[in-house]
Chain A
Amino acid sequence: MAEKKISLMDTVKQASKGVISGIDKKDVEHWVEIYFLGKAYQVPAGLTIMQALEYAGYRLIRSCGCRAGFCGACSTVFRRKGEYKLQTAMACQTRVEDGMYLVQIPFSPAEKPLYDIEKEKYEASVFLKYFPEVARCVSCNTCTKACPQDLQVMDYVQAALKGDYKQVAELSFECIQCGLCAIRCPAEIVQYHVAQFGRRMYGKYGIPREENTEKRVKEIKNGEFNKKFEEIMSLSEEELRSVYTEQQNTREVY
């Protein structure tokens, strides 16, 4: 039994690498029916949406990336049978269910305003300068419901309205920019761009500089390490190798 499953998954892995090799039907125990772009497909249970699509014969060129839930490329919108709720998820992270209606959102159309972090004043009003639509937020919280990362999206949009960079940055830290919030927003806000702007401004002006880093940079600038550099530069390739490997072994890895 177990082996069967694994072998199945292997084939799927093959498939997902873009190699479209069919799965032996008799290996499959449970089948589910999904509707992709309105067309019905029989696919093996247990596949992720992305795998299922590929099984069904689609070749994903856009709308797929890391396949590990980090890149945010494979946004999916779906409804379960007999449910009124519109669900959002990452295709590589969600398993197919029987009677799923779904479609992929390869890209959420949104223009990112041009700004020069260096030139910006670190002031509350700047948010609305670049993202005036933030002021249209009605706190309906749909964005939060849509976020596959379970971020408090509405809260950081509201923080942006108040010009609170710190909150925006912290609340949006795990944003993967999948764009599902922006697709669902009735106020047509592009939350993830707002968040990114917020994080950048906070990173530049908000967080205090790490003093040791500062110190070290100064030291380097003052040429305190020039001697060491020269030594290393003078080494032959073999010597260099041994120094490196020795270093690797001695310094704890993190």
Chain B
Amino acid sequence: MKIPYFPGCTLKTTAKNFEISALEVSKVLDIELVELPKWNCCGTVTSLTDDDLMHHLAPIRDLIRVEEMNESGLVDNEYRVVALCTMCFNVLKRSNQRIKERPDEFKKLNDFMYLEKDYQGKTEVIHYMELLRDLDFSKVSEKVKNPLKGLKVSPYYGCLMLRPKEVGIDDPESPTIQADLLGAIGADVIDNPFKTRCCGSYQTVRDKYTVAELAYDIITRARKNGAEMITSSCPLCLFNLADRQKEVMELHPEFEPMPVLYFTQLMALAFGLDEKYFGFEDNFIDPRPLLREKGLLK
């Protein structure tokens, strides 16, 4: 299956390991993620004021690219665009919904972007995890060569994959999609009551210690429930939960760090792919010691 794919700026910079692992995992599942030609910033974060159109230019511009891909034959009648980064997913999908609901704005945007082809509103935005669910997780488990037996993983969802309701890909209060996926690759899934609690998001720029406290709550609660590792699908969540553990340790000396990974990294591991696709070296808290100890890594 060939499907348009929107990476987002972070996956090209600080979250390379997310993209590398995802692309390789997809190959195993016969999914070809075709990167949008000359895509621009998704426009994160969704502008919430009712009168603001400017900030919806970026996302819609990207959705135009998807339609162009279909016209140029890069993909064959595939108007779904996959995002890996949860934030990008949320922004693109919300703008798409908003514009489709408001014909007047739809026209305004097209007029403003007169240098572009008109957006026709055919595009649908989906999250990579959604794509896998539609594919059916059983297909995923079929590909597992190296089941993650005994690895206690706590899936962390954060906000933008679930909220607001009309964008969310699962129940906003008690989601299971990531847990099901981790289950499908053989991990022991550990629930965390804070799995949908916000990581502090962009507040990390304003005050790293605020965010560190949130990370502390989320991680310690996961550990209390027996988790050894947390997975996420959002580079910002991952930064706040992993990289901010540096600050957490300043605040709470007794705190012991916990690796936080992209779910695709664990999939790559479970699929028994080459180490270079794991990208563990880029994780702020190196998961390799734990994985070796569990006998999941040489």
Contact = CB atoms under 8 A, between A and B. Distances in A.
Interface of A: 124-125, 137-141, 144-145, 154-155, 158, 161-164, 186
B58 A163 contact: no
A141 B115 contact: yes
B57 A140 contact: yes
Interface stretch (B8-16, B74-82, B185-193): B8-16
A141 B13 contact: no
A124 B40 contact: no
B41 A161 contact: yes
9 closest A-B pairs (Cβ-Cβ)?
A139-B58, A124-B13, A158-B40, A162-B12, A139-B40, A162-B9, A161-B9, A163-B13, A140-B57
26 contacts: A124-B13, A124-B14, A125-B13, A137-B40, A137-B41, A138-B43, A138-B54, A139-B40, A139-B43, A139-B57, A139-B61, A141-B57, A141-B61, A144-B115, A145-B115, A155-B38, A158-B9, A158-B38, A158-B40, A158-B41, A161-B41, A162-B9, A162-B12, A163-B13, A164-B12, A186-B54
B113 interface: yes
Interface in B29-80: 38-41, 43, 54-55, 57-58, 61
B79 to A, nearest CB: 21
A138 B58 CA distance: 6
Contacts of A138: 43, 54-55, 57-58
A206 B61 CA distance: 29
Nearest to B44: A135
Contacts of A144: 115
Contacts of A162: 9, 12-13
Contact of B12 (A124, A139, A141, A154): A124
Contacts of A140: 54, 57, 112
Nearest to B115: A141
B229 to A, nearest CB: 26
Nearest to B113: A141
Contacts of A125: 13-14
A132 to B, nearest CB: 10
Contacts of A164: 12
Contacts of A145: 115
Contacts of B61: 139, 141
Contacts of A141: 57, 61, 113, 115
Contacts of A154: 40
Interface of B: 9, 12-14, 38-41, 43, 54-55, 57-58, 61, 112-113, 115
Contacts of A161: 9, 41
B41 A139 contact: yes
B209 to A, nearest CB: 21
A251 to B, nearest CB: 44
A215 to B, nearest CB: 34
A41 B55 CA distance: 41
A138 B109 CA distance: 13
Which residue, of B13, B55, B61, has the highest number of chain A Cβ atoms within 10 A?
B13
A155 B58 CA distance: 12
Nearest to A136: B41
Contacts of B38: 155, 158
A215 B40 CA distance: 41
A138 B39 CA distance: 13
Which residue, of A125, A138, A145, A186, has the highest number of chain B Cβ atoms within 10 A?
A138
Nearest to B13: A124
A155 B12 contact: no
A144 B113 CA distance: 11
A163 B6 CA distance: 16
B202 to A, nearest CB: 11
A109 to B, nearest CB: 23
Contacts of A158: 9, 38-41
Nearest to A140: B57
Contacts of A155: 38, 40
Nearest to A164: B12
A140 B12 CA distance: 22
Which residue, of B12, B39, B40, B58, has the highest number of chain A Cβ atoms within 10 A?
B40
A140 B109 CA distance: 10
B18 to A, nearest CB: 14
A161 B11 CA distance: 11
Given A139-B57, A158-B39, 10 more contacts: A124-B13, A125-B13, A137-B40, A138-B58, A139-B40, A139-B41, A140-B112, A141-B57, A141-B115, A158-B41
A185 B55 CA distance: 14
B283 to A, nearest CB: 17
A141 B60 CA distance: 13
Nearest to A137: B41
A87 to B, nearest CB: 15
A141 B64 CA distance: 14
A183 to B, nearest CB: 18
Nearest to B116: A141
Nearest to B56: A138
A214 to B, nearest CB: 31
